[in-house]
Amino acid sequence: MRLMDKMRDGIRHFLKIQDAPKQTFSIRELLDHDGNCVKNIIWYRGESYELTQFYQNIPGGADGVKFWAAKSTVGREIRKIHTGLPGIIVDRLTDIVINDFSQISFNKESDKREWNDISKDNNFKEILKDAVNKMLILGDGAFKLSLDESISRYPIIEFYGADKVDYVYNRGRIQEVVFITEYTHNETVYVLKEHYGYGYIRYKLYRETDNIEVPLNTIPILSNLVDMGFDKSLIMAHPIKYGKSPKWEGRGQAIFDKKTDDFDALDEAWSQWMDALRKGRSKEWIPESLIPRNPETGALIKPNAFDNSYMTKGDDMSENSQNKIEVTQPAIPHDSYLATYITALDLCLQGLISPSTLGIDVKKLDNADAQREKEKTTLYTRGNIVDILQDQIPLFIQKVFDVVSISQNNMPTEITCTIDFSEYANPSFESQVETVGKAKTQGIMSVEASVDELYGDTKDEEWKKEEVARLKAEQGITDEEEPALKLEGEMINEGNSGEESLSDVEEQGNEPT
């Protein structure tokens, strides 16, 4: 054995590596799920006064470091300004999705007519807009179906956000949806919990102060509520969530859950900039001998903040001195403040929405492809929301029709429907005409494909067929039936291949039946 091998074996026996001992880490969360929902709602509301109160009232959490939790020193107060960016982001994404919502297509015309009546009665598009809005703010929510013939003969559709709904899971699957509603009666707050499960609805009323269950008739408007049972295969509630929360199992993640620190920094950068502008106003220093006086009394005219603002200084009594008015203007580092603001803004928008979607000018480019490139982040976020709706809304509509069937003592039937959304940030009509025209001229696109690509969802299928027929007629293209192939006859011999005719083969290989 070589010397190096002996040394290596010696080192291996000398070192005795032991596994690291197990350690336990105790980390306290700043907020529970309900507190997190309140935080997101306050950020969405966008009131600086509410943000200050919220962060300064978190028990032992904010420690005064965050901008909205910090308290100014007496005499050095700073104006705290909120940009309103979180609410703007949610509103714009909601508008983009709902405005592109075109229609719900059904296989049966009767189903379509019935859904149109239900949708019109409930104003479903407005409910869907509220659902998308709350889903982005709070992370999840649930549709609730109820029957009340005194209000409508159709099922009543409502949406509850994550702050007013809870879920009961069994092996990772939802078994019950609990809707929470607060009522105030005789200066006492009560909490109504509606348990929607498979085949049942149960109502329970609790007093908020001690969480003790009380009879439903404690509140007169709830005295008519009674538990009910129905088909165990149906639950009259449908949860919907955006993303997956890393903190709370089975809950969704709000669109700006991981962005609140960035929003806090953006507000601080903007507030600091505006504070510098306020402190950096030009100041006019006037010697006392030059201050305007009242012509009647000779008294000094007091400065007016609107049209006569100045600061008084003593007369210069030194030799060869001249009393003159001086104007001073502090230097404000605008470029530094702008760079800080832009960096903070980029962090807030990363992964959520494109700046151009919010009207932020990021170089003026008329090219349609360049405009589409700038909207890519918005397209990704919008695509995630649209995928969720296209997957979940048909399932919810199926439940609506099942409720209708059960209320009429009929057997539920399967409903097939699709949710259609138009395209977002598509190129201009002129550029589409140019692109489609080139493809058609080069012979790689048919008349039907070019018409469908050019008009998309803006025209119905009947109009497209008529347009194709008109174009073919103008271009002299006619549709003729293809001639039928003659299968009977003799095979043609080519050269001296020695092949036999079809009739010879039939005579030799087949006998008449």
What per-residue confidence (pLDDT) applies to 507? 45
Q: What is the tens place of the pLDDT at every residue in 236-281?
A: 999 999 988 888 888 999 998 889 889 999 999 998 888 887 776 6
Whether 214 and 197 map to the same domain: the answer is: yes
Whether 159 and 180 map to the same domain: the answer is: yes
* Position with higher pLDDT, 439 vs 45: 45
What per-residue confidence (pLDDT) applies to 508? 47
Confidence band of 503 (pLDDT split at 50, 70, 90): very low
What per-residue confidence (pLDDT) applies to 41? 94
Whether 89 and 217 map to the same domain: the answer is: yes
* Range of the structural domain that residue 472 is part of: 427-476
Q: Which of 406, 424, 442 is the endpoint of a domain?
A: 424
Whether 299 and 407 map to the same domain: the answer is: no
Whether 149 and 247 map to the same domain: the answer is: yes
Task: For 302-321, give one letter per residue: b (16+ CB within 10 A) or e.
Answer: ebeeeeeebeeeeeeeeeee
On the question of pLDDT at 195 being above 90, the answer is yes
Whether 248 and 171 map to the same domain: the answer is: yes
Whether 303 and 247 map to the same domain: the answer is: no
In angstroms, rounded to a whole number, what is the distance separating the alpha carbons of residues 55 and 39?
9
**502 occurs within a structural domain:** no
Query: DSSP secondary structure string, 68-101?
Result: TT--PPTT---------HHHHHHHHHHHHHHHTE
DSSP secondary structure letter of residue 249: T
On the question of pLDDT at 320 being above 80, the answer is no
What per-residue confidence (pLDDT) applies to 486? 55
Mark out the alpha helices in 307-375 (DSSP H runs): 334-349, 368-374
Q: What is the tens place of the pLDDT at every residue in 418-443?
A: 888 877 655 556 667 777 777 778 77
Confidence band of 91 (pLDDT split at 50, 70, 90): very high
Total domains in the chain come to 3
Contact at 8 Å (CB) between 354 and 378?
yes
- Arithmetic mean of pLDDT, 108-128: 91
On the question of pLDDT at 317 being above 80, the answer is no
What per-residue confidence (pLDDT) applies to 365? 46
- Arithmetic mean of pLDDT, 7-15: 67
Whether 156 and 131 map to the same domain: the answer is: yes
Whether 93 and 136 map to the same domain: the answer is: yes
Confidence band of 366 (pLDDT split at 50, 70, 90): very low
Across all residues in the chain, what is the average pLDDT? Answer: 80
> The tokens of 334 are what?
């605008």
What per-residue confidence (pLDDT) applies to 37? 93
Whether 285 and 319 map to the same domain: the answer is: yes
pTM: 0.74
Reference 155, options 395, 398, 392, 414; nearest CA is 398
What per-residue confidence (pLDDT) applies to 327? 59
3 state DSSP class of 190: strand
What per-residue confidence (pLDDT) applies to 487? 52
Whether 465 and 376 map to the same domain: the answer is: no
Q: Which of 409, 424, 439 is the endpoint of a domain?
A: 424
What per-residue confidence (pLDDT) applies to 177? 94
CB within 8 Å of 255: residues ≥ 6 apart: 89, 90, 93, 136, 137, 242, 243, 352, 381
What per-residue confidence (pLDDT) applies to 474? 81
What per-residue confidence (pLDDT) applies to 497? 44
On the question of pLDDT at 510 being above 60, the answer is no
- 417 bridge partner residues: 106
- Arithmetic mean of pLDDT, 8-21: 69
Whether 157 and 239 map to the same domain: the answer is: yes
What per-residue confidence (pLDDT) applies to 256? 86
**370 occurs within a structural domain:** yes
On the question of pLDDT at 66 being above 60, the answer is yes
- Arithmetic mean of pLDDT, 472-501: 56
**349 occurs within a structural domain:** no
What per-residue confidence (pLDDT) applies to 310? 54
On the question of pLDDT at 47 being above 50, the answer is yes
Q: What is the tens place of the pLDDT at every residue in 397-413?
A: 999 999 998 888 888 88
